[in-house]
Amino acid sequence: MLDASTGEEALQRAQQFAGPIHLLLSDVVMPHMSGPTLAAQLQAQYPTLKVLFISGYPESELVHRYGAVVARALLSKPFTPDTLVRKVREILDMPL
């Protein structure tokens, strides 16, 4: 597992990591770089990367701002650890 505080840091850590990256768990709204922008940049390097976005903003607002890509894999805050585990499994089990 890699962790990062910003989108830029996430990109740097991914570039330094030698192994595969299977899942990106990212907030949608972040300073300097949105979660969808981060996901697109990482998916260019890791075409099989799956993404789960999290957010406290209303889904309709996120879809309006970032498009349907967010709605396909969104976990709304607050959520329980069990809900997170189930959603991660669901995303990992989805076909590419």
For residue 70, tell me if it sits in a domain.
yes
CATH no. for residue 71?
3.40.50.2300
For residue 15, tell me if it sits in a domain.
no
Helix axes 7-16, 35-45, angle to 10 degrees: 20
Q: What pLDDT, on a 0 to 100 scale, did the predictor assign at position 76?
A: 96
For residue 63, tell me if it sits in a domain.
yes
Sign of CA dihedral 62, 5, 95, 75: negative
Q: Give pLDDT tens digits along the chain (96 positions).
A: 999 999 999 999 999 999 999 999 999 999 999 999 999 999 999 999 999 999 999 999 999 999 988 888 999 999 999 999 999 999 999 998
Name the DSSP class of 47.
Answer: T
For residue 83, tell me if it sits in a domain.
yes
* Domain interval for residue 31: 20-93
| Interval 39-62: pLDDT, tens | 999 999 999 999 999 999 999 999
For residue 51, tell me if it sits in a domain.
yes
Q: What pLDDT, on a 0 to 100 scale, did the predictor assign at position 71?
A: 85
Query: For residues 35 and 40, what is the distance between their CA atoms, to the nearest angstrom?
Result: 9
Give the total number of structural domains in the chain: 1
Instruction: Calculate ∠ Cα 83-10-80, nearest 5°.
Output: 10
For residue 29, tell me if it sits in a domain.
yes
